[in-house]
């Protein structure tokens, strides 16, 4: 990545993303300086990664709260989708971890899978 920015012909600007305008506003603030979102530390790349991670987390929180808001014994709508995902993940985890231990690791592996999937 560094070779992309500091090639033989001189430095190039990083490519623009949907958060470039926000990065330009944040990089010179005290928060931007504290987290080193400035130009000398490839701040735009770090800022994009953090912004996309926050958006993925917010999407998962909104979907999970919507799915569990009105819990029914017979799932419908978004709750049905989440039940299907949990069943799918349980089957995958039990494929390589024995069944009693698979349920122990399912919450961690499931949240990791969903976070990576939304990214």
44, 14 Cβ separation under 8 angstroms: yes
Judge if pTM exceeds 0.75: no
* Residue 64 included in any domain: no
84 and 118 housed in the same domain: yes
Q: What is the DSSP letter of 97?
A: S
CA 108 to chain centre: 14
58 within a domain of the structure (yes/no): no
Same domain, 34 and 74: no
Q: What is the pLDDT of residues 9-52, one digit of tens each?
A: 556 676 778 888 888 888 888 988 888 877 776 777 778 888 88
Residue 29: its pLDDT value, please?
Answer: 86
Does 63 fall in a domain?
no
Note the pLDDT of residue 68. Answer: 83
Which pLDDT does position 9 carry in this prediction?
58
- The two tokens of residue 40 are 């000398």
Q: Which residue has the tokens 């494929």?
A: 95
Domain membership of residue 13 as a residue range: 1-51
Query: Does 100 reside within a domain?
Result: yes
d(CA 9, CA 63): 47
pLDDT at 58: 92
């Amino acid at each position: 990545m560094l070779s992309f920015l500091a090639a033989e012909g001189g430095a190039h600007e990083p490519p623009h993303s949907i958060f470039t305008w926000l990065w330009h506003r944040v990089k010179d603030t005290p928060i931007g300086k504290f987290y080193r979102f400035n130009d000398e530390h490839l701040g735009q790349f770090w800022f994009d990664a953090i912004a996309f991670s926050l958006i993925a987390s917010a999407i998962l929180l909104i979907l999970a709260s919507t799915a569990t808001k009105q819990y029914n014994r017979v799932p419908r709508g978004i709750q049905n989708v989440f039940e299907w995902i949990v069943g799918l993940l349980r089957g995958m985890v039990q494929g390589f971890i024995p069944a009693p231990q698979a349920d122990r690791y399912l919450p961690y592996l499931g949240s990791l899978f969903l976070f990576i999937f939304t990214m």
